[in-house]
Amino acid sequence: MQKNETTQNNVVGWIDKRFPLTKMWNEHLAEYYAPKNFNFFYYFGSLALLVLVNQIVSGIWLAMFYKPDTALAFASVEGIMRDVPFGYLIRYMHSTGASAFFVVVYLHMFRALIYGSYKKPRELVWIFGMLIFLCLMAEAFMGYLLPWGQMSYWGANVIISLFSAIPFLGEFVVQFIQGDYYISDATLNRFFSLHVILLPLVLVMLVAAHIIALHEVGSNNPDGVEIKANKDENGIPRDGIPFHPYYTVKDLFGVGVFLIIFCAIMFYAPEMGGYFLEHPNFEPANPVATPDHIAPVWYFGSFYSILRAATFGLDWVFFAGLGAALLLFGVYRLTQKQSIKATGVVLGLAVLMFIAAATGVEVSAKQLGVILMFGAIILLFVLPWLDTEPTKSIRYRGPIFKVTTALFVIGFLLLTWLGGKEATGPALLTAQILTLYYFVYLLVILPILPKIDRCKPVPERVTK
């Protein structure tokens, strides 16, 4: 036993002289002190890493048998399902893993929202996380076309056509993305290349940056208390415990529960009633036969609902009215002697609105929908600067924040559900109301909450 330990130490020592193995282990696991009051919501970071590994491994295996050719793609997927040993299992691991990835990521983002994990000093951690989310959406979209089924083809057609709303350059951008004048073999090949090579590399690098940035500033906790502010004589946080072995063991329990649910879905309900694998996607793509209802995969539903909520355009009257409102707001800020920089931005936007009105700029309903959809994502990037309340955790924030945030989350879930429904009648009206609230919450409610909401005192040390 003693000899084995000596050999192991010699091997580790030899590696340490050439690569910082022990240093990395200590900095990110053994000597990385995390708050001792992590709860259920802190499982999802490690679960996201688990699903990422599942997607990469299963994706590599699928790529061995998949043929990125419009004449062979659908048949190759069917061949994987029917002829490749355990091919059906690998395909379901990948398709179920795609939805599981978004479930885990959305819950991870929800935890950040309620506990203020995007606030100072973790703004960069949040930005890296949002870049991961954006890259994940692109990765999922590229992969969605690969089975070359009916919904894959027509769903990609709808999404790519959105870029035609870009003024002057729209048609060029669409042709550049497609590699052709329509979705064809060139499109399939470039999507396959991006899906299996470039985007996974970017995703892995962003995940590494996300973790490094997190470990540099330390993890947040349900109380929103900075444990680094209270250390003992050895420089160890009094309310912290080593990530390994305490949280590695805890995460293993979470992994076990997750795998039970994941395997139950994968073996017994891989299609999940058409939410994970749509029924039209079991038919080969037919460019001359449009499905009765084109809907995105469920995890794009919320942003697709926001896109479709725009049923009207904007003309000079809107820009003139918005310019006047911004001008009045800017003048008010000047009289109150508020931040000069922020006031300058407001007045600058007012000038731009007046210029747009004077030159007769018009925005079509399609262009407005695209602006709203991408704006909904971009606003999440600047969330740390929209929510200026210093209190982080929902435990100590005021009742207005709790109610409005609950409505925001419920609205997002409803938008996700409505994304799979036809945009007519009550469904369309509901989506428009929820879209309006989405932007009001981020642009109006969060910035003014510090002035109207009453937060509870935050304890100096973490609680249970």
The span from the CA of 439 to the CA of 447, in Å, is 12
| Domain spans in the chain, listed from the N-terminal domain onward | 21-284, 295-313+363-464
Backbone angles phi, psi at 122, to 5 degrees: -110, 25
- Angstrom CA distances, 103 to 46, 150, 318, 358, stand at 13, 25, 38, 46
pLDDT of residue 334: 79
User: Is 244 annotated for ligand binding?
Assistant: no
Place of tokens 């070359």: 148
The span from the CA of 46 to the CA of 257, in Å, is 13
User: Is 210 annotated for ligand binding?
Assistant: yes
Q: What is the pLDDT along the chain (464 residues), one digit of tens a residue?
A: 566 667 777 888 888 888 888 888 888 888 889 999 999 999 999 999 999 999 999 999 999 999 999 999 999 999 999 999 999 999 999 999 999 999 999 999 999 999 999 999 999 999 999 999 999 999 999 999 999 999 999 989 989 998 988 888 889 999 999 998 989 999 999 999 999 999 999 999 999 999 999 999 999 999 999 998 888 888 889 989 999 898 999 999 999 999 999 999 999 999 998 889 988 899 999 988 888 888 889 999 999 999 999 998 888 888 899 889 888 888 877 787 766 777 788 888 889 988 988 888 888 889 999 999 999 999 999 999 999 899 999 999 999 999 999 999 999 999 999 998 888 889 999 999 999 999 999 998 998 998 899 999 999 888 87
The span from the CA of 363 to the CA of 357, in Å, is 11
- Angstrom CA distances, 390 to 117, 214, 397, 402, stand at 12, 19, 10, 15
DSSP assigned state of 197:
I
pLDDT of residue 53: 96
User: Is 195 annotated for ligand binding?
Assistant: yes
What the block records as the tokens of 368 is 């407005």
Torsion of CA 196, 198, 204, 210, to 10 degrees: -140
Bridge partners for 264 per DSSP = none
The span from the CA of 347 to the CA of 331, in Å, is 8
Contact 224, 391 (CB under 8 A): yes
What the block records as the tokens of 159 is 């999404």
The span from the CA of 13 to the CA of 6, in Å, is 10
Contact 133, 109 (CB under 8 A): yes
Q: CATH 1.10.1370.30: does it fit domain 21-284?
A: no
Amino acid at position 395, single letter: R
pLDDT of residue 318: 87
What is the Cβ-side half-sphere exposure of residue 98, based on CA atoms within 13 angstroms?
26
Contact 346, 323 (CB under 8 A): no
